[in-house]
Amino acid sequence: KREVAVINMNILVTGGLGFIGSHTTIELIKNNHTVIIADNLINSKIGVLDKIVTITGIKPTFYKIDVTDEAKVEEIFNNHKIDGVIHFAGLKAVGESVSKPLEYYYNNLVSTMVLSKMCVKYGVGKFVFSSSATVYGDQPSPLKEDMELKKTTNPYGETKAMSERILTDTSKANEEFAVSLLRYFNPVGAHESGLIGEDPNGIPNNLMPFVTKVAKGQLEKLNVFGNDYDTIDGTGVRDYIHVVDLAKGHVKAIENLNSGVNIYNLGTGTGTSVLELVNTFIKVNKIDVPYEIVGRRPGDIAICFADVSKAEKELGWKAELTIEDMVRDAWNFEKKNI
């Protein structure tokens, strides 16, 4: 792959104090970029800013704003020469989106439209979007970027698919506005320092933070949502990717973003079942995780994993960390912080 000469960019990272946003901020700083963070702290903690300083020695400029607020977002574009935007800020609880659809459509779509409008107005030519494998809907894995998208099972997923369309059409109408749509599979794990990691508010919806809280004794047991799927052990299979690998994928995406609409799966290409993940956690961390097999969770699909060849070929990026790394780092963070 031809190495592109990387110039140091000013990157606006929305949701930059969140789980994936904070890990990406660290990797951007390590690659000598300047990061400006906009975050409303609805699902993140201001303390993460100091952790970023501890890890990198750099304090990113921070704006405590809601990125649906056009006037507040415009101030940032007036105060800084922004070279690119990485847009993480958004509501992301699948179940909650079913009970609060308007909140999800408003937050996730208006934020994307406000940021795109400001990029076009201020001539910012690079926009990287936090999308999700959920946009593929229920179709056979491995999932490939050129597949036709199927309707998702929830408003959260729909906001991701709609945001992709808003960005695609805006890029087609403004050739200097290049976009990269990154479809995440299942992000897990934490920075090796254990200083930052996945720290959701309330009872976790996702598997890994639930497992770490059971291991810690904060939750009594894990409910395994069904073991009657057509998979290796009957439990759901997903493509878990270490959050640090995911963060590095964002750096590669924005450094290689020059024109048009670019879509990439960010996964490992390998499927892992719920019980395989739980048993790896128990083995690596030498700690018990009591669980009970219960009924399926509505909306879940049996198997979901990525075809990852396109990101490797075009971005020169490939996930390197293993399931063992993921369960070790997730537990290391949980022990130290929560």
Stretch near ligand WQD under the rule CB under 6 A, chosen from 109-117, 223-231, 242-250, 321-329: 223-231
Sign for the CA dihedral angle at 112, 118, 121, 123 comes to: negative
Interstrand relation of 178-184 and 261-266 (parallel, antiparallel or unpaired): parallel
- Classify residue 193 by its DSSP letter: T
Nearer to ligand WQD, 260 or 298 (CB): 298
Convert residues 61-100 into a mask of x (bound to ligand WQD by CB under 6 A) and - (unbound).
-------------------------------x-x------
- How far apart CA 96 and CA 83 sit, in angstroms, is 34
- State the nearest-atom distance from the C-beta of 264 to ligand WQD, in Å: 16
Stretch near ligand WQD under the rule CB under 6 A, chosen from 203-211, 212-220, 257-265, 306-314: 203-211
- How far apart CA 227 and CA 281 sit, in angstroms, is 19
| Residue 234 binding ligand WQD, by CB under 6 A | no
Member of 25, 97, 186, 268 binding ligand WQD (CB under 6 A)? 186
Convert residues 278-317 into a mask of x (bound to ligand WQD by CB under 6 A) and - (unbound).
-------------------x--x-----------------
Nearer to ligand WQD, 300 or 314 (CB): 300
- How far apart CA 39 and CA 48 sit, in angstroms, is 11
Stretch near ligand WQD under the rule CB under 6 A, chosen from 79-87, 217-225, 245-253, 321-329: 217-225
| Residue 236 binding ligand WQD, by CB under 6 A | yes
- How far apart CA 187 and CA 198 sit, in angstroms, is 9
Q: Give the amino acid at 290.
A: P
Member of 61, 206, 227, 337 binding ligand WQD (CB under 6 A)? 206
* Number of helices and strands in the chain (H, E): 11, 14
Member of 22, 40, 132, 171 binding ligand WQD (CB under 6 A)? 132
| Residue 23 binding ligand WQD, by CB under 6 A | no
- How far apart CA 270 and CA 307 sit, in angstroms, is 9
Q: Tokens 């059409």 map to which residue?
A: 169
Nearer to ligand WQD, 137 or 194 (CB): 137
Whether 156 is catalytic is yes
Nearer to ligand WQD, 192 or 300 (CB): 300
Question: What torsion, rounded to 10 degrees, do the Cα atoms 63, 65, 70, 71 define?
Answer: -70
Q: Which member of 63, 104, 136, 156 is catalytic?
A: 156
- How far apart CA 58 and CA 135 sit, in angstroms, is 35
| Residues contacting ligand WQD: total by CB under 6 A | 18
Nearest to 59 by CA among 72, 69, 50, 47: 50
- How far apart CA 331 and CA 337 sit, in angstroms, is 10
Q: What angle do CA 243, 248, 251 make, to 5 degrees?
A: 135
- State the nearest-atom distance from the C-beta of 209 to ligand WQD, in Å: 8
State the catalytic residues. 156
Q: Which residues bind ligand WQD (CB under 6 A)?
A: 92, 94, 132, 134, 186, 205-207, 210, 222-225, 236, 238, 274, 297, 300
